[in-house]
Amino acid sequence: MQIQEVLSLLKNFSAKEEVLRRLVTPEIEALVAKIPKPVGSFGFDAWGYNEDSFKVGLAAFKLLYDHYFRVQVHGLEHIPKNGRVLIIPNHSGQLPMDGVLIGIAAATNPNGPRAARAMIERFFPTVPWLGNLLNSWGGVIGDPVNCVKMLESEEAIIVFPEGVRGSGKLYRDRYKLQRFGNGFMHLAMNQRTPIIPCGVVGCEETMPAIANLAPLAKLLGVPYVPVVPAPFPLPAKVILNFGEPMHFSPVRTEEEVTTRVEQVKAEIQRLINKGLQERTSIY
Amino acid sequence: MAVEKKAAASGAANKKTVLVTGAAGALAKRVIARLHGRYNVVAVDFRRKVETDAGIPSYKVEMEKRGFEDIFLNHKIDAVLHIGRIFAHESSRDRRYNANVLGAKKLFELCKKYGVGQVLIHSTYYVYGASAYNPALLDESHPLKASEVTMDLVDSVELESLANIYLWKHPELHITILRPCNVLGPGVRNSMSLLLSHTFTPVLLGFSPMMQFLHVDDMADALVLAFEQNKPGIYNVAPDDYIPYQRAVEECGCKKLPIPGIPPVVPRFMSSLLNWGAFFPPYLINYFKYPVILDGRLFNETFGWKPKRNLNDIFTYYRKTKLSAA
């Protein structure tokens, strides 16, 4: 009799469902339900974002966010509850872990959760499964057309103006902001979108690179191949500081645009310094 | 009452005459049904002489051949709805080029010669080309990259560039180009519809691009609307609802037949080897790997159009057909 009971239990046991049930808690469900994000009749948007997939991703990374990186976040009240917004952070740590953590912070914002869309590298769509998976979590290739269309539909976007220059830099250059691209400023001005600057502290220490194997990277067709102490992100404590919204009206020359980009860069540097002061220990 | 009848009888002479190509196809049939009565319709197809309702003359004619002009001599054509094109699976590349591109050239010339006041071209979203770098929600001004993807779609792109030349050179032709997303529904025989009608449907492992689908009845409404409102230009026709290809396959009640997606030669090789030409042709494989998502707002706003049937309505037909066959 007992064996039969165990067998019938096993028969109805689905590992996938069990994991999903434990992962996607009612709190996660409630958060996603509050996100002002229109989707189609099957829960997808034009870029492949999917509500159900987003819930699973959010739930899984929320565990890392809370217990592994023990993220400490300030200034979440600056992220608007709805309407278009550009979140502009510094970039570091080889892997786009900073993008993920900012995404979790925005999605779990007690003042109003947002599904912030991260711009991903152009080669991701060519990678089987991973490309679709990143899309379903909200990742989109960083094409200006995508950004404009998303801002037009009042979405929140995360842009790293340093790009791979920031994420691929070596440990000795930590917390030194690299050159910023001007693209985000054009978006902000033309689409009348507020900029929320964000200083990320801690991600530099998740993957401290001592060297970059540039020839190998070229061979593999990837932006960089870092020499790191461990092949996974180390559990550094991460501090996120969101700044006040910055508004910019259109200007004519590229020189003026660059000046404004420098203003944002300075604000981010200030937020980084604030985070560094708040930090009591690296790990 | 008698006066009304008289007016109706003499009305045939006052009614506009509309030439509809591709009359044997599911879409053209629906368009003809919508126009019948309000317009004098002339039905044309290159495949066969189509059975039509009383009062609709029907011809089997190839546009690039000389006999085509006789239709313009026998009827005072006021407008042309060019719906019929030879699909890539229906003929060789050369023959298709002749029919679709040179045939269209002939059509535009005849329209010019016989004072046709309006031409509507039924194009396809394929012209944008499927690429990993495609942003979503493509505008009508996005470059047409299909010929970069494959030689087999050159005719679609050239038909459009030809239409564009006539669009600005001969504004009196009032040319409207419509680029619909995947059109599905009863009787539709394009690659996507054939594909979703199968029990086993090939999918590329690890790739499930976003897609848009439109019911053939909605597309017919869109065509008639564009014809009646006559606002020349280029328009995407697509709903603001999206679904990944593999999910659509499931929703249509198909069983997935997974084939490796990389390296790119593998799916192409398998497609040619298994002779899937008709429904999963080698040159369309990129469209099952990368998305081509259209922004249909311009058409919606210009013509005040909105599809009446949703994705589930569309897929239900394919699901039901499979159930009744089983």
Domain ranges of chain A: 15-278
Residue B75 · residue B42 · CB < 8 Å: yes
Helices first, then strands: H and E counts in chain B = 13, 13
Q: Does B262 touch chain A (CB under 8 A)?
A: yes
Structure tokens, B106 = 């002939």
Q: Burial of B200 by CB count in 10 Å (0-12 exposed, 13-18 middle, 19+ buried)?
A: exposed
DSSP sequence for B172-198: GG-EEEEEE-EEESTT--SHHHHHHHS
Minimal Cβ distance to B206: which of A122, A128, A135: A128
Check B312 against A149: CB less than 8 A apart: no
Pairing mode, if any, of strands A195-201 and A239-242? Answer: antiparallel
Q: Does B290 touch chain A (CB under 8 A)?
A: yes
Residue B215 backbone phi and psi in degrees, to 5 = -75, 140
pLDDT along chain A (283 residues), means of 10: 73 75 88 91 95 94 96 97 96 92 96 93 88 94 93 95 92 95 95 97 94 90 88 94 96 94 97 95 87
Minimal Cβ distance to A149: which of B132, B137, B241: B137
* Cα separation of the two ends of chain A: 52
Name the CATH superfamily housing domain B2-188+213-239+292-309.
NAD(P)-binding Rossmann-like Domain (3.40.50.720)
Residue B2 has a pLDDT of: 46
Q: How many CB atoms lie within 10 A of CB B96?
A: 21
Q: Which residue of B has its CA nearest to A140?
A: B135
Q: Which residue of B has its CA nearest to A130?
A: B206
Tell me the nearest-neighbour CA distance from A149 into chain B, angstroms.
Answer: 7
Minimal Cβ distance to A40: which of B139, B142, B242: B242
Kindly report the CA angle at B235 between B229 and B237, in degrees rounded to 5? 95
Q: Which residue of B has its CA nearest to A120?
A: B133
Chain A residues lying within 8 Å of B133, measured CB to CB: 122, 125, 141, 143
Q: Which residue of B has its CA nearest to A126?
A: B132
Structure tokens, A9 = 């239990």
Residue B12 has a pLDDT of: 63
Check B210 against A47: CB less than 8 A apart: yes
Residue B264 has a pLDDT of: 81
What is the Cα–Cα distance from A160 to A119, expressed in whole angstroms? 8
Cβ-Cβ contacts under 8 Å for B221 (sequence gap 6 or more):
B34, B305, B308
Structure tokens, B146 = 């299909």
Closest CA to B196 of B219, B213, B217, B218: B213
A83: left (phi over 0), alpha (psi -120 to 50) or beta: left
Chain A residues lying within 8 Å of B207, measured CB to CB: 128, 131-132
Whole-complex ipTM? 0.88
Q: Burial of B90 by CB count in 10 Å (0-12 exposed, 13-18 middle, 19+ buried)?
A: middle
Residue B96 · residue B155 · CB < 8 Å: yes
Chain A residues lying within 8 Å of B251, measured CB to CB: 42
Q: Please name the helix (run of DSSP H) or strand (run of DSSP E) that holds residue A226, with its range, or none.
A: strand A226-227
Check A48 against B240: CB less than 8 A apart: no
Q: Which residue of A has its CA nearest to B244?
A: A48
Structure tokens, B45 = 């197809």
Residue A179 · residue A165 · CB < 8 Å: yes
Closest CA to B246 of A38, A132, A52: A132
Q: Does B114 touch chain A (CB under 8 A)?
A: no
Number of inter-chain CB pairs under 8 A, A vs B: 75
Tell me the nearest-neighbour CA distance from A51 into chain B, angstroms.
Answer: 13
What is the Cα–Cα distance from B279 to B296, expressed in whole angstroms? 26
* CA dihedral for B120, B124, B125, B126, sign (positive or negative): negative
Selected residues 17-56 of chain A with any CB under 8 Å from a CB in chain B: 40-42, 44-48
Class of domain A15-278: alpha beta
Buried b or exposed e, range A77-99, using 16+ CB within 10 angstroms: ebbbeeebbbbbbbbbbbbbbbb
Q: pLDDT 10s digit of each residue in chain B, 326 long? A: 444 444 444 556 789 999 999 999 999 999 999 999 999 999 999 888 888 887 899 999 888 888 899 999 999 999 999 998 887 667 778 888 888 999 999 999 999 999 999 999 999 999 999 999 999 999 999 999 888 878 888 899 999 999 999 999 999 999 999 999 999 999 999 989 999 999 999 999 999 999 999 999 999 999 999 999 999 999 999 999 999 999 999 999 999 999 998 888 888 888 888 777 667 888 888 999 999 999 999 999 999 999 999 999 999 999 999 888 77
Check B310 against A45: CB less than 8 A apart: no
Residue with tokens 């006052």: B14
